[in-house]
Structure 1
Amino acid sequence: MSSRVVVSVAVGAVALAGVGALGLAYAGDQPPALAHSTARYTAPAGERAGALTFTTDVTSSSGVKSVKVLAWPAKSSLAKKALTAKEMADAESAICEPSGGDTARCTYKVPVSRADADGSPRGPWHVAVLVTAKDGATTFKSKAADFTV
């Protein structure tokens, strides 16, 4: 085997290793991803309280630090001015459980009393979500899921 072929193979191996390392570094820098987000609203009936349940699958290579959730009516001041990630800081948290690989299944559930239901605007609502990964990367969706009151 000529020395030129050996050098070419060595250079090719180093180049491929560099591309692979770059690919891994790039994959690690991805923001958290949401998938399969759903919201279900059940109105109170008789003596039984209702509930709002939101679930989503979050994928993050560094893990999930927090998932903040805020339900808001489509006909509100939030619809007129865009909701921002900064406004989500005081929102309530979802509970996340590992569901395989880099993915966690996150659930937010809140009871809805008769008084809550009677005082809520009727019509379409949206669920906003702010996900923070353990490495500090964030993903914000102002309309991750919808439901109707």
Structure 2
Amino acid sequence: MSRISKRVALTSLVGAVAAGAVAVAVAVAGIASATAPAKPVVDNASARFVVAPGGDEGVFTFAADVADDSGVKNLKVLAWPNASGLDPTAEEMEYAEKADCERVDDEKSTCAYSLRVTERELAETGKGEWTVAALLTGRDGGKKFVPEAATVTLDF
């Protein structure tokens, strides 16, 4: 074999190896992008109860940062007194009230929920420690149920 044909053969071999490496890299990238989408996430959840001036009512608020790779469709919130023994399921949360969500970007939103509570309503429902459950639904239908997203003490 002449020097030129050895050089051509070596160059062809290097090119074939490089082309194979590129093909493998493309295949791996294709597999990585075909993996399941990220699940919905509920972060930084917090709840507060503030008695209004005058002391005859209060405001319960819940806030959370939420995200899903498809975008956020809604966040449903349910609060209940721990003494009630209530233990809502994800299916029951479908009927809970929606929080107001403000879009941060294509995937993230900040959601807030508030409810005015009169002293009479609080007397009927129960003072003390309350738990807040949250159900996040992404635009693609993915869901994240957080049965104990936050706790708060309601008292006048």
TM-score (norm 1): 0.86
Bigger radius of gyration: 2
Provide closer, same or farther for how the CA distance between residues 67 and 117 of structure 1 changes in structure 2, counting only shifts above 3 A: same
Distance 1:9 1:132, change over 3 A: same
The count of aligned residue pairs is: 145
For 2:38, what is the secondary structure of its paired residue?
coil
Contact 1:44 1:114 in 2 (8 A): no
> Does 1:94 find its partner at 2:99?
yes
Alpha-carbon contact 2:71-2:106 (below 8 Å) kept = no
Indicate if the aligned counterparts of 2:70 and 2:106 stay in contact, CA closer than 8 A.
no
Kindly indicate whether residue 88 of structure 2 is the aligned counterpart of residue 83 of structure 1.
yes
Contact 1:43 1:117 (C-alpha < 8 Å) held by counterparts: no
Letter in 2 for 1:140: F
Of 18, 21, 27, the residue aligned with 2:27 is 18
Q: Specify every segment of 5 or more residues in structure 1 that has no aligned partner in the other structure, as ranges.
A: none
Instruction: Find the aligned partners of 2:23 and 2:121 in 1 and give their Cα distance.
Output: 63
Residues 118 and 45 of structure 1, relative CA distance in 2, 3 Å threshold: farther
Contact 2:42 2:65 in 1 (8 A): yes
Alpha-carbon contact 1:37-1:56 (below 8 Å) kept: yes
The runs of 5 or more residues in structure 2 that have no matched partner are: 1-9
Q: State which of 120, 139, 142 in structure 2 corresponds to 1:134.
A: 139
In the aligned structure 2, how far is the partner of 1:18 from the partner of 1:121? 59
Q: 2:149 aligns with which of 133, 136, 144?
A: 144
